[in-house]
A and B are shown apart, each in its own frame.
Chain A
Amino acid sequence: MTSIETHLPTDVSASTPAIATWLTTADHKKVGRLFIGTSFVALLAGLVLAILVTFERINADSYQILSDNSVPQVLAAVRLLLTFGTVVPLLLGLSIAIVPLQLGARSNAFPRLAAAGFWTWLTGLGLALASIIGNGGPSGGNSDLVDLYLAGSIVLGLGVLMTATSIAVSVLTTRAPGMGILRAPLFTWSSLVGSLALILTMPVLIGTTVYVYIDHRYARAGFGGNTGVNQWIGWALSQPFSYLLAIPALGIVLDVVPTICRTRLAQRSVAFGAVGVVAVAALATVTQTSITLPWDGAKFLDNAGTKIADLLPFLLLNVVPVLGLLGVLGLSLLTLKSTKPVISAPLTFVLIGLLGILLGAAAHIVGLVQDAGLTGSIYEAGVYVPITFGAITIAFGGICYWGPKLWGRSISDKAAIPLALLALLAIGLDSIPYYIAGFADQPTGLVNGFSYSGPQDLWNALTCAGFVVMLLASIAFVGLALKSFTSGAVAGNDPWDGTSLEWATSSPPPAENFAGVIVVNSATPLADIKSGSSNGKVA
């Protein structure tokens, strides 16, 4: 007698209150949406704080919105909200929601681990922010709350680590039959690379924070007390670490461009290499102390041997990531050139975001030339902001692109494209004035009590305007996403005529993603099914 194993009903939502369903869900699509939704809140809060800081800088002597003691904490809160509150969860959320669909998998690996990762991350972020509000962040005056900030940072790091582990193991173990890693979509590849980078770096941050926490709580002998917090763990809130966090965004670019252009990506294998090069070089940079370049002006050729010895690690660690980014841009342009591109919101967002990341990465190189004298100047913010805004802008493009798979409805192209242009304006306003102010020796970490020759009010007013523009663009995008979520046009299963597997299932996908098993024969499995060269299904 043959017995047939049937699946148990998995939809228990009918008998469970909606709030309980969301609190206890392990469905990767819902966990991804939780990450994305929460990151929107953090983004808006971070931008409001950034506007406060930059507004006070406009007239450094007159405005006194922030007390001197609170400045380091507010600056830390801005970085925390934009980096670990926005960029990380936005890209992790997209990865958790979309990568299993691209793999043709029924679920992600260790779904409960990913769900626990979200709640752990949220708890850590909440603890860290609560401690800052109570005068307990870096350089904070309340000792117990400084401890809470450190403990919150450890919890936050654990949450990110858990989610990254789920993504990496998903890519390594749940690919559809026939899908070798080189047949996986570029977003899947970049999510794997980005997750592995997090898995290798977050533990170092956690370990260091454990040292700082125990030293601060008990001894205050080795790590500089409350003022040493930023010195020891601040590297996670600046570049080159921000490169690592932006890696999954490169995959979004490389997936969106060919699909929107209805063509195949030019030099696909090179694209894998470009993403890998950015990751490896950025990882190498993170593990090193900052390698700067002594230029010595006209005397550069003196002691040429020593100079070359300095130049080689500088080029390897700082220039190679930019070459990888240029590779991604070049492949995107080649793909665009091969066809007549249709202007659409995802395409506009991702190209503008990529330009932002490139701008920040290129500026980072200049900032490391010793003779430029930019160390400790506001120039550093001009490197951080375009990379961060670039990654956020690309993620916005990813949400426009995968909106149908996230909630079954489309985001209006006409309404979204102007927001991408606003993001471009914000990136420009929050980088170029910073560079000029940096060369004029405006110090970083201060909001008042500085002066230098030149129109310092103008440069700081422009950066403030940049944050206002980004805030407006973000509010409008969140509103647009909410409108799409509640009353947007119902999307078809394959609105972009895609070639990867996420478009082979319904929008939004059912609980187990796919009705059957899809066998992959090439890097464009859905195109194969459409052309009839593969039925794509196991008989």
Chain B
Amino acid sequence: MLALPPASQPAPRRQVFVGTAVAGAAGFMLIGGMMATWLKFRADAPVRESLKRGFIKDWMPAKIVVPEVAANMMLLGLLVVCIMAQWAVYSAKRNDRAHTGLALGVTALMTLAIVNAQIFIWTQMGVGAKDGAFHSMFYAATGTMTVLLLSGLVYTAVAAFRYLGGRTKEVELVSAHALYWYFLAAAFFAVWFVIYVQK
């Protein structure tokens, strides 16, 4: 008499979701640590007199103009991305393949627009990383954030390929993908406030 093969292991408990949460925590510490270092440099900068604002910290060189509209649009864009990612979860749970695909597609498109806005900021500022401490730190912080955004784009592509490729039962992956974008939005909010608002 032939024996049956052993029972399969029960599915791990929301492994992708938990993994994404852990990765999000690590990413948050990455950005949090970088913002803390930025604020330390800003606080330690000497004070100088500004014609417009009185005595200010001599941190960001006066000649630098940061394109704030583009930075604000990046933040708004990330809000839209979060909504799109959550729409993908909503649709996936209802087995609505068309709308899931549409939501993931818009998520990817918006991410490209956000990265484009970041490149616009770098080119419009017209400064080099070698010009001073502010400059090198600006590129380090915004560059790291851009790498995280691009990792989100890869995550979106993977989720889209797997879901639209037929694994429509894998709602957990789409949920985890949305969680990652929530983390990215929160992380960018910190970058936006510290670097683009507080400077």
Contacts and interface: CB of A to CB of B under 8 A. Distances in A.
Nearest to B25: A199
Interface stretch (A214-222, A338-346, A410-418, A457-465): A214-222
Interface string A187-211: 0000000000001111110111011
Nearest to B141: A211
A177 interface: yes
B26 interface: yes
A99 B12 CA distance: 15
The CB with the most chain B CB atoms within 10 A, among A172, A213, A517, is that of A172
Contacts of A106: 9
Contacts, number: 115
A538 interface: yes
B47 to A, nearest CB: 18
A169 B18 contact: yes
B31 A109 contact: no
B69 interface: no
A204 B144 CA distance: 12
Interface string A448-464: 00000000000000000
A168 B131 CA distance: 42
A134 B139 CA distance: 28
A105 B10 CA distance: 9
A219 B133 contact: yes
Given A105-B9, A211-B140, A515-B6, A173 B131 contact: no
B130 to A, nearest CB: 4
Contacts of B137: 211, 214-215, 222
Nearest to B27: A203
Contacts of B10: 177, 517
Contact of B5 (A6, A215, A222, A538): A6
A365 to B, nearest CB: 26
Interface in B111-141: 128-133, 135-137, 139-141
Given A210-B140, A219-B133, A203 B26 contact: yes
Interface string B1-41: 00011111110111100110011011101111110010001
Contact of A109 (B12, B34, B130): B12
A5 interface: yes
A161 B18 CA distance: 15
Given A109-B15, A200-B25, A211-B140, A219 B130 contact: yes
B27 A172 contact: no
A6 B4 CA distance: 9
Nearest to B20: A169
A110 B19 contact: yes
A213 B135 CA distance: 13
B7 A214 contact: no
B133 A204 contact: no
Q: How large is the interface on A (under 10, 10 to 19, 20 to 34, 35 or more residues)?
A: 35 or more
Contacts of B13: 172-174
A4 interface: yes
Contacts of B25: 199-200
Contacts of A222: 41, 132-133, 136-137
Contacts of B8: 5, 7
A214 B129 contact: yes
Given A208-B37, A219-B133, A221-B133, A201 B29 contact: yes
Contacts of B37: 207-208, 211
A204 B29 contact: yes
A516 interface: yes
Interface in A142-179: 161, 165, 168-169, 172-174, 177
A208 B26 CA distance: 14
A215 B18 contact: no
Contacts of A201: 29
Scoring B7, B19, B130 by chain A CB atoms within 10 A of each residue's CB, the highest score goes to B19
Nearest to A512: B9
Contact of A165 (B7, B23, B33): B23
A207 B145 CA distance: 11
Contacts of B6: 515-516
B33 A208 contact: yes
A169 B23 CA distance: 10
A202 B27 CA distance: 10
A480 to B, nearest CB: 35
Given A199-B25, A200-B26, A207-B33, A169 B19 contact: yes
Contact of A202 (B18, B26, B139): B26
Contacts of A174: 12-13, 15
A219 B30 contact: no
A210 B32 CA distance: 13
Contacts of A7: 5, 8
Interface string B136-157: 1101110110000000000000
A109 B17 CA distance: 12
Contacts of B32: 204
Contacts of B18: 169, 172-173
A185 to B, nearest CB: 19
Contacts of B15: 109-110, 169, 173-174
20 contacts: A7-B5, A105-B12, A106-B9, A165-B23, A169-B18, A173-B13, A177-B10, A200-B25, A203-B33, A204-B33, A210-B144, A211-B34, A211-B136, A211-B140, A214-B136, A215-B140, A217-B129, A222-B136, A222-B137, A517-B9
A-B complex: 3 closest residue pairs judged by Cβ atoms: A222-B133, A204-B33, A203-B30
Interface of A: 4-7, 105-106, 109-110, 161, 165, 168-169, 172-174, 177, 199-204, 206-208, 210-211, 213-215, 217-219, 221-223, 515-517, 538
Given A165-B26, A177-B10, A201-B29, 4 more contacts: A169-B19, A202-B26, A210-B140, A218-B136
